[in-house]
Every structure is written in C-alpha cells, then in structure tokens.
Amino acid sequence: MTSPRTRRVRNAAYATLLTLTLLVLAVADGDRSREPLERPNALEVAWSFRTPGRALDTADTPAALNDSMLAIPLGETVSIVDARDGHRLSTPRGAGGALEPAGFSGGVLFGMARPDAEGSLNAYDPATGKRLWRKTASRSRQQKAGNGWTGGAPLLPDPGPVVETVGGRLAGLEPRTGEVRWSERIPAVASCGEVAPAGPGLPSYPPYRIGATARYVVLLGECPGHVAQLQVRDAQDGSVVWQKRLAKWREYIRIDTSRNAIVTSWDDDFRVFTEAGKEYARGKRGRKPAPSPEDLSGGVAVGDANVAGAYVGDLRWSVGDARLQGPGASALTDREGRRSPSVPWPVAGTFVGRSGDLLIVRSEERYGTRYTALRPRHRTVEADRPAALGGTERTDWPDACRLLRAGLLQKLGTDYVELPVRSSRTVMGVELPHPSVCRFATESGSDDDIFSVTVRWVAPDDEAARTYATSGIPWGCDPPLGGCVTAQIVTPRPGVHLYTYRTGLKQSPVAHATVVAGRHVFGVSAGNDGARARWLVGRVATHLSDLYGGGRVMAAPAVR
C-alpha cells in the first residue's frame, strides 16, 4: 500500500488543486488547426464500466489514466479499460501483493507492487496484461553512483519512464524492456545539498521537486533563501532543453505539471510556462489564485468537482443540508477560453480524472464499483431550463414542505410544525420557486420526533434518477478507512433505501433514507437512530414512494 507520507503529500496536493482557479492553457504547442467545438454546456454519459468488487478508496489507490486507457486498481489485479468505448482490454496481476497502477508511458502500463516493504516496479502490456519486466528497489541507496532504482514512483512522460536512482541520478528506461537508455546526475538546481535523512536507515531527500510533461522531465530547485531554478530535460535522451532562474523564496514553493504546461508557485508569486518554455502568465497568488495546469484534450477542458455536492471517498450527501444535496459539477472551457457555468454530473461519485475530453467518475454500488465516462456536449439552454440543473425546469422542483399529505402528518403526530430551510431555494446557483429542504418538528420539541425531507435532485428521466440515486448511497463506507459507518442498507421495495449513517466527530448514528420516485430523488433524515426515528424515516420514505413513484406528476396537495 502507499505509505502514509506519500498519501499525505498526494492528498495535500489534490486538495490544493481543487481550490485553485481552473485556467485553460490553450497555449504554445497546442494544435490550433482544429475548429473549436461549439461551446459545451452539458455532460452526458459516454459509457460505464463496472468492476466485480469494490475498488480501494481512491484517496489511497487512485485509478491511472491517459488519453486512451484507464487502469483500475482491484487489489492484486488491475483492470485496463479502453477509455474510448469502456471495453476491458486486459487484467494484469501482481506478484502476490497489491498492485497499484502508476500510469502509462510509451504504450505500457506501469504498476507498483507491494508484496513486502521493498516493493517493485512492474511493466505490463495493456493489450494482453502480460508482465514485460520487473525492477526491485536497490538496497544500496547510499552508494555514490549506480543505476539502482530508489523505490520512488516513476515519472511517466510519453517517450518512456524516468526514475530516480541511487547516487542522485535520473535514468530514462526503455518502456518495453526496462533497459537504461540514459542516466544523468541530478543537475545543480539543488545547490544547498541533500536534506538529512528522516530516520536511521532512511534515504536523504534532495531539495528539489520533480514532475513531467508530455515530453519532458521538470526539476525545481527548492533551497530556502536561494534563487529557485527550473530545469527541463528531454525524456528521450536526458539532455537539457531549457532552464529558468526564478526568484528567491522563503516559506513556500511547489510545482504542478500537466501534459503541456508547468505552474511554479512560491511565497506570494506564481509563473506559468508552456512545455516549450514560453512564459504564459505570472501574478500574485493573493490577487489572482495560481492556476492548476489544466491542459486541453480533444478541444475541451473539463474541470474536476468544484461544488460541495460532490463526494470524495466516504463523504456522501448530508440529508437536510441544502449545500450538499446536489451532484458534483464541472466547468467546461473550450479552445477559445469561453467557460460555461458549472454543469452537474448525471451520476454521483468521486472525480477520477480526464481521458481525452472525457471526465471519469467513480461510484460505489451495492455489488461493486462503477466507473462512468462523461462527455461534454452542447445543448440549447432556456431560461426555465438552466444548465446548472441539468436542463430540468425550475418548476419541476417541488416544495419540500408540501411533499407530505396532511393525513400522514396527523398519523405521525398531531402537532407537527413545518420549518422550511430558506437557503435551500438556491441549488447549484439557481433560484428555485420553493425550498428544497423542509424540517418537521413537534411543538413539544422532542428530538425523537424531528425529521427532514429533502428534494435531492430532479433528473431528466426516471433511469437517470435511479442511476444518480444509487451511486450516491454510501454502499462502500468502511470504518478502517476512517470514513462513515453505515448499518446494513435495507431496500423494502424498489426505489426505497433505508440505512443508518454515522457522521460528525462523535460518529453519532442517524436514520436515513433515499427514495427514487420517477424523475425525483428524495432524502429523509431523522435526528438520531432510535426506534422512533427509524420508524419515522421508514414511514415517510414509503409515503413518498407511494404518492410520487411510478412516474406520477409531482403536484403539491392543494388543501392541507
């Protein structure tokens, strides 16, 4: 498995990128010959692929992808999927331990096998799943020279993998054989020497950061108090292509790379370079957030989840909280730099990455994990059918306080008071005619009687509602991962799912329900998980299914 240190670094970097402003780098070396696509403002399902078991949590072992393939981790195996149509290509297997896909380079899949503390780097033919070669980490990490692999994750530019070797060197490997085709000492961008080892027997960490673009290896010297130096080397032969002296830095420095862009950030400044070395932008991070190196693929840049409604890992909907009731969403930007408002995903899930112009989302299901490819497209947008609501009308969203008939409330309790949540009238930035969340409480004020009803989403059709709802239910929560703890999910009838969801620092159990009724997805939640609360949630969920299921028109009762 990935080390805690690696996970912390990766998660920190990912969290940082999520908060950065997305900037499309239609820059320099990009192909300008193609005509710009019509401005995209919607996402549609291109294909979906279901794994036979639950994949490991994406925060721990993410899938790897490029413009044509997706590698999905499944413990000791990896499923390689053709990203163009969603068909499985092969299933490589590790050597008796977990196999973590590192990515693709030179038409080869590279994976890190962790059968023991040493680990190994493995190369596979994506078409057949056959292992081409294996390289184990060198035990002589303190030697002054040599080509022994240090055990770190490889850099994966297109020409072939580049690894760090003992003695402070970089080595370019032949993708299909693993032979060293060039080896160069780490350049003098790190003039302040190596940082002391973190502990006995552990290697020292040189003061530079490293990344890769499509063709090059990028090194950024990070010696505090010195001028930061950026050096770019050709991944084919290791030669220096270009280099820049940036500025002195004091407290903070980082580098982010994509296929055709390099973003350097230090203290309060940032600079953006094309792969060829042309400066594209610079500025102050405080005034204009440093951009992430989003590159154009297929003419459209698709950003990752940038609204609270998306879930990551074990975070799911919080019923009753209007800010978290919607799906994930992405902003789409074309070659002309025109950016759409955030448009919702047709499924709930975790952002995996982009393959070409496709956005890949991972969703847990009852019996497995589904990877869904979403394709940007253009759709005529009307004022009453905003793109942010997936093209549904504002009036399709019912009043959450009018979903329950008066007769039911009388059966539940004679003194229920409706408490609409005002903030829930705004969903995905769109103003609705009614609140989408309503809390119900008795005048007696007992916590056991409190429950809430949420209109989570209104889909364009029944099938889309079912897909969206089932992909948002926390099927795969696992206590060892530090996430939510879910009781067994019970489905008393199609479209009604009852479960207990533990949230907050105290991990207090709360009775929940997800209801799919026609095009509508409802949520029901109580204040605790007592017998009375579970009964309330089940009764209300069944009522919603009876009253609005089967494709019936969502009409609010005229008399209460």
DSSP secondary structure string, 188-254? Answer: TT-TT-PBPPSSTTPPPB-SEEEEE-SSEEEEEE--TTSEEEEEEEETTT--EEEEEEEEE-SS-EE
- Hey, what are 500's tokens? 């207990």
Residues facing residue 49 across a β-bridge? 371
> Tens digits of per-residue pLDDT, 81-108?
999 999 999 999 987 778 899 999 999 9
DSSP secondary structure string, 171-187? Answer: EEE-TTT--EEEEEEPP
Instruction: Tell me: pLDDT of 34 over 80.
Output: no
User: What span, in angstroms and rounded, lies between the C-alpha atoms of 310 and 515?
Assistant: 19
Higher pLDDT, 1 or 348: 348
pLDDT at position 84? 93
Place of tokens 């207990």: 500
Give the mean model confidence (pLDDT) for residues 281-291. Answer: 65
In the DSSP assignment, the letter for residue 115 is: S
> Tens digits of per-residue pLDDT, 3-33?
333 333 333 333 333 223 233 333 333 433 3
Q: How many residues does the chain have?
A: 560
Q: Report strand pairing: 496-503 vs 208-212.
A: unpaired
> Tens digits of per-residue pLDDT, 440-455?
998 877 788 899 999 9
Question: Helix (H, G, I), strand (E, B), or coil: what is residue 297?
Answer: strand
Burial pattern 275-312, b for ≥16 Cβ within 10 A else e, equals: beeeebbeeeeeeebbbbbbbbbbbbbbbbbbbbbbbb
- Give backbone dihedrals phi and psi of 367, rounded to 5 degrees, phi first: -115, 15
Are 273 and 255 within 8 A, CB to CB? no
Number of H helices, E strands in the chain: 4, 36
> Tens digits of per-residue pLDDT, 429-442?
889 999 999 999 98
**In angstroms, how far is CA 104 from the centroid of its own chain?**
19
Give the mean model confidence (pLDDT) for residues 446-466. Answer: 89
Find the helix or strand (DSSP H, E) in which 508 lies: strand 508-517
- Hey, what are 124's tokens? 């596979």
User: What span, in angstroms and rounded, lies between the C-alpha atoms of 11 and 351?
Assistant: 13
Instruction: Tell me: pLDDT of 227 over 50.
Output: yes
User: What span, in angstroms and rounded, lies between the C-alpha atoms of 203 and 201?
Assistant: 7
Instruction: Tell me: pLDDT of 547 over 70.
Output: yes
> Tens digits of per-residue pLDDT, 37-73?
567 888 889 999 998 776 554 446 789 999 999 999 9
CA–CA distances in Å: residue 169 to residues 184, 208, 255, 459, 529: 5, 13, 20, 54, 58
Instruction: Tell me: pLDDT of 150 over 80.
Output: yes
Higher pLDDT, 191 or 413: 413
pTM of the model: 0.79
User: What span, in angstroms and rounded, lies between the C-alpha atoms of 127 and 294?
Assistant: 29
User: Residue 126: pLDDT band by 50, 70, 90 thresholds?
Assistant: very high
DSSP secondary structure string, 384-439? Answer: TB-GGGTT--GGGS--GGGSS-HHHHHHH-TTEEEEE-GGGGEETTEE-SS-SEEE
- Among 199-208, 280-289, 517-526, top mean pLDDT goes to 517-526
**In angstroms, how far is CA 261 from the centroid of its own chain?**
21
User: What span, in angstroms and rounded, lies between the C-alpha atoms of 522 and 319?
Assistant: 9
Percent of the chain scoring above 70 in pLDDT: 72
Find the helix or strand (DSSP H, E) in which 545 lies: helix 531-548
Based on the number of CB atoms within 10 Å of its own CB, is 44 exposed (0-12), middle (13-18) or buried (19 or more)?
A: exposed
> Tens digits of per-residue pLDDT, 238-256?
999 999 988 887 777 888 8
DSSP secondary structure string, 359-391? Answer: EEEEEEETTEEEEEEEEEE----BTTB-GGGTT
